[in-house]
Structure 1
């Protein structure tokens, strides 16, 4: 999938959100030049265990289809290299703390003066306005600050983080959407623009439904574990084995009747406590108790099979080993094995969409630190002598 072939991205991001965004651009065919600190590089190069071979599995997951160029951005010579890269680039992405990009001569005004058609994308923690704009932030901090963590887990339990980096990954996706929108606009105007996104804005967007319910009712939502505030039964139920659970999502009256038929609980359909979703929400705990008396008589896969026969949406709560070997996941070819890479038995999780049955364009695999420094500088017509001079000053690696 090379729909962005010919697009060049200068990427000054690290950790998760920004690198995920630039990896998506690379997967779509763009040339991505990843600028890293000499010596250490992206922080995720040190995020281990686990390692895959001798490298951080986290870094490998977020940095395919990129060229690594090591530059000291605090040096005037390093900043000049970025300016040279941006002269002919299409997209510039950074995740620097608001204000520090200006001090490094990498602000929007400076780079748009160098290249008026440049799309400038800035990713921050708390945004580039307001009293907290200069504060650092990571996924769990924003899950807490945006209210996500107040909704996660069971009532009475300690706070629980959503198990995946949902804010980081979604911020990368929202940034991508903004960048693609800006590219479309540039096709019409030939002018660049600034795309701004933050972890906090993503976090607030994730609580859209719960925040809307609060604004409508004035009531704070409660932790419901796997359940939903507005629909019942729509949650996890125990099965015969204590460590195996199944999600049942009977989201309307028809599906509730199907569930009752499948579990031989037909009397519940006309029970005044459960006849409609509204009363089921009010009596959720009693209904859960009754249903769970039945589900605990089944092995989890048997329960899923029986409910499928009655067209009731149901899924086992799979561990990742089951996901990895799952027939449906593999039919979709979401996990792609890669041959001839320095990491033995390397695999990638592919893009979650296809265009004409084609997924990511994997043209290069995660780079070693500074692996393409000379290649990139040579493309800017830097001489060998100039490169050696910059190396001696520790501007590049």
Structure 2
């Protein structure tokens, strides 16, 4: 981009692994922040091994979540090393992100209380599993566990399916997004002078899952029926799902009564448009099985391309069910220029899904090797040679 990125000049220290904190970190990096990643010296971020596929010894997943960052490897059990990390944070960081098990960093003087006392302006964000309060506050967790616990897994799939998860780490990545939102709000408050001090922000996978579940939970609180597994469909809108055609599958989203009537006309099913069982969306939701069975028979009588052409001609939202390999070569994907290469050409991944004045931020850099930037823990001018030796031990 020709102008500075929005977070140019902000330094974020990420003491995180796997996905939630690293995803928050990569968002900050794409927005122009300097992101310094603190990794366990023994093996680094666990996600380095989450493959195949691998690119130069690290998983493609790790490259996707950590390009453009700097990496410091640390032995947290070494007081000299943790002291140098504290000094680095106090001297450089505007923001700290951490998603280690609750209490872990407190043992090393790197928790929110210690660091905000040393650096009152610091914005410190904890990314946890189940939240900062409650009986499960100290319980570790991964995305599938939270999908199961939050009720999300109970509504994924079809009625007779075994339990299945949303096959992307939606709560990890969502928690990373909430972390960014919370941190940006805190930084904005500081810019406005509302707060002279920084803030401690808490987000978690479980709270993120509850936020994704806003509609099902609200339906339940309103006395609605127990949510059912309805495959690609919606519990609140009908017809709004995938249909089988004679040679493939398409998704049709007739999201209101007008679109439903247009759909009936396109499908040459005028009787369904006038059937009192299907007159309103509420009626169609109550009589879902009867309506879907009738539509399914009709959709199978033509090809997917025929249906798509006819539906699009009447401005009825629809589209093909694409596989991942087709998505990466899809004309719309290509035109958005959202799949980018890192500067060294090793990694091709997804850029930030945001543009500023028509320009998408570039990928912020290459993926660091474990401990590649340990030289950042340099001796400040006022420190003596003994402290410099401690730096060498940490390296």
Same fold, TM-score > 0.5, yes or no: yes
RMSD: 1.8
1:216 alignment counterpart: 222
Q: Cα deviations across residues 221-258 of structure 1 (Å, max 9, x unaligned)?
A: 111111111111111111113xx321111011110011
| 3-state SS in 2 of match to 1:173 | helix
Superposed displacement of residue 384, structure 1: 9.6
The separation in 2 between residues aligned to 1:162 and 1:380, in whole angstroms, is: 48
Distance, in Å, in 2 between the alignment partners of 1:389 and 1:101 is 20
Change (3 A) 1:283 1:363: closer
In structure 2, C-alpha distance between the alignment counterparts of 1:165 and 1:58, rounded to whole Å? 11
Q: In structure 2, what is the equivalent of residue 283 of structure 1?
A: 287
Question: 2:327 & 2:384 partners in 1: Cα distance?
Answer: 50
Q: Deviations over 1:13-35 (max 9, x none)?
A: 11011100011011111111100
Q: In the aligned structure 2, how far is the partner of 1:363 from the partner of 1:326?
A: 25
Mapped contact 1:69–1:370 kept (Cα < 8 A) = yes
Q: Does 1:21 align with 2:24?
A: yes
Q: Among residues 39, 43, 64, which one is paired with 1:40 in the alignment?
A: 43
Aligned: 1:232 with 2:249:
no
Establish whether residue 62 from structure 1 lines up as the match of residue 68 from structure 2: no
d(CA) in 2 for partners of 1:232, 1:58:
36
Which residue is equivalent to 2:353? Answer: 352
Match of 2:369 in 1: 368
Q: How does 1:324-339 map to 2 (within 5 A)?
A: 324-339=328-343
* Structure 2 contact 66–368 (Cα < 8 Å) conserved: yes
Residue 109 of structure 1 corresponds to which residue in structure 2?
113
- From 147, 155, 160, give the equivalent of 1:156: 160
Measure how far apart 1:140 and its partner are.
Answer: 0.4
Query: 1:112-123 alignment to 2 at 5 Å?
Result: 112-123=116-127
Q: Take 2:368 and 2:306, find their aligned partners in 1: how far apart are those partners?
A: 45
Is 1:196 matched with 2:202? Answer: yes
Quote the Cα distance in structure 1 between the aligned partners of 2:123 and 2:27.
16
Residue 12 of structure 2 aligns to a residue whose secondary structure is strand
How far apart, CA to CA, are the structure 2 residues paired with 1:45 and 1:152?
A: 29
CA distance in 1, matches of 2:385, 2:72: 16
* Alignment partners' CA distance in 1, 2:99 and 2:385: 31
* Counterpart residue number, 2:377: 377
Deviation at 1:55, TM superposition (A): 2.5
- 1:77-97 per-residue CA deviation (whole Å, 9 max, x = no partner) reads 122112112213100111121
Residue 222 of structure 2 aligns to a residue whose secondary structure is helix
5 Å matches for 1:156-195? 156-187=160-191, 188=193, 189-195=195-201
The answer for the alignment partner of 2:76 in structure 1 is 73
**What is the CA–CA distance in structure 2 between the aligned matches of 1:229 and 1:372, rounded to whole Å?**
50
Shift of 1:327: 0.8
Question: Aligned partners of 1:237, 1:60: CA distance in 2, in Å?
Answer: 36
Task: Please say which of residues 299-308 and 230-239 is displaced more in the overlay.
Answer: 299-308
CA distance in 1, matches of 2:21, 2:103: 17
In 2, the alpha carbon distance for the partners of 1:149 and 1:387 equals 52
3-state SS, counterpart of residue 363 of structure 1: coil
The number of residue pairs the alignment matches comes to 388
Give the superposition deviation at 1:379: 7.5
Cα deviation, residue 325, structure 1: 0.8
Inter-partner Cα distance in structure 2 for 1:323 and 1:103: 46
Q: Which moved more, 1:313-322 or 1:298-307?
A: 298-307
Q: 1:21 to 1:67 in 2, by over 3 A?
A: same
CA–CA distance in structure 2, aligned partners of residues 290 and 54 of structure 1? 53
